[in-house]
Amino acid sequence: MALRPADRQNLAKAKVVLLNGYNLTPALNKIRTPGTVVNVGNIAVPNNPAKDPHIWHDPANVIAMANTVASRLKPLFDANGDAEIDQRRAKADRVLASLGSWIGQQVATVPEKQRVVVTGHRTFDFLAKRYGVRELPVLDDYTTGGTLRPSSLSAISKSIKASGSKAIFPESLPPSKTMRRISRSSGVPIAKQVLFGDGQAPGKSLVQTATSNVCIFVNAQGGSCNEAAASRLQNQWDSIK
């Protein structure tokens, strides 16, 4: 992430700067601002031994983050502003709680032996732990520095075959040469759609990204996804003003 001149100008006037936390954006660690810098994730989700920054994949963590943000913004407003922040926070909390329940319902449609997400890198640990999904980040687990040696490829292939997964989930399309090699070696196909692990999907909200990720995973692994309910969640999210 590179700061533009306009970004630096805004930071120079900011009273509060909100960061995801857990070093997700190292370029912002040394920003110059007169305001208070808040690492939201560190405050909202202190129980994170691995310091994994991808905390938003569990909607309960997003609720905690929203509450942290609200508490840091309220001192900047008068009583009327505080009330409006509380109203928006409460609406967001309700939608996020519903999202958390919806995800559990979709994952439950996947046969238990296929509740595994095979990716290149570890990004879905919080989702996996909450919903009883096994995460298999093959490059993180079996390579050093991302280098795929023949011994690593063999170990990865065996692990994927044993996992029960029906798909390998790419981080980009077209998939990397490395992921294509892994797919050929393991005999497990690459999913036709991307799981967005490092942020929101382009042009999509947090809720849309979450529901899209879950539906891609569930449908690829033999479950069924209630997309109508996902659309209703997004409409509820859009209605928060």
pLDDT tens profile 158-188: 999 999 999 999 999 999 999 999 999 999 9
Task: Look up the CATH architecture of domain 107-238.
Answer: 3-Layer(aba) Sandwich (3.40)
For the chain, give the longest Cα–Cα distance: 64
Percent of the chain, pLDDT > 90?
A: 87
Q: What does the pLDDT look like over 92-151, one tens digit per residue?
A: 999 999 999 999 999 999 999 999 999 999 999 999 999 999 999 999 999 877 678 888
**Predicted pLDDT at 23:** 94
Q: Across the chain, what does the average pLDDT equal?
A: 94
Are residues 61 and 45 in contact, defined by beta-carbon separation less than 8 angstroms? yes
- Residue 91 and residue 111: Cα distance in Å, rounded? 33
The 10 Å Cβ neighbour count of residue 10 is 13
Residues of the chain within CATH 3.40.50.1980 domain(s) are 107-238
Alpha carbons 160 and 177: distance in angstroms, whole number: 17
DSSP conformational letter for 240: -
Q: How far apart are CA 132 and CA 217, in angstroms?
A: 13
pLDDT digits (tens, 9 = 90+) for 19-76: 999 999 888 888 889 999 999 999 999 999 999 999 999 999 999 999 999 999 999 9
Provide the 10 A C-beta neighbour count for residue 216. 20
Output the pTM of the full model: 0.93
